[in-house]
Amino acid sequence: MKINRLFNLFAGILIIGLIFSSCEKKTIIPDIPVVDTTVVISFSADIQPIFDDNCVMCHVTGHASGLDLTPGNSYQSIMDNNIVNIDTPNESLIYMKLNNGHYDNASISDYNLILTWITQGALNN
């Protein structure tokens, strides 16, 4: 009788162990491109193309938000609308809007590039 209980207890522990080991949670970490922060990000060469590809179809002169992201107007419009925060770049409105799905076609690397540009001082270069 005692051997039966020990056997059942051992068998139960073994079964529970097998169940939990086979239900291993697998976490998929997305491949997030990292921007090399030692490379100076150029507004005209790196940031404006993101706006051209994802934003200018709506954010043009006369847009209700007042934000015009068309070439030649975008930098001044960004500064006039106070949507970058150089002191706390990840709290910049432009970064938070994009990062929260404001426009679905911009990529994670685009978000990272914009954040790096802001971190580097949001220069008009």
Domain residue spans of the chain: 43-119
Instruction: Let me know: does 84 contact 96? Beta carbons within 8 Å.
Output: no
Residue 9 has pLDDT above 60, yes or no: no
* C-alpha closest to that of 48 among 122, 120, 102: 122
- Within 31-107, residue ranges assigned H as helices are 48-54, 74-80, 93-99
Average pLDDT, whole number, for the chain?
80
Residue 116 has pLDDT above 60, yes or no: yes
d(CA 106, CA 55): 9
Share of the chain above pLDDT 90, in %: 45
Residue 90 has pLDDT above 80, yes or no: yes
According to DSSP, residue 44 is labeled I
- Within the chain, residue ranges assigned H as helices are 2-22, 48-54, 74-80, 93-99, 108-119
Residue 29 has pLDDT above 50, yes or no: no
Tens of pLDDT, residue by residue over 31-41, are: 455 667 788 99
Query: Measured between alpha carbons, how far is residue 75 from residues 11, 47, 89 in Å?
Result: 69, 10, 16
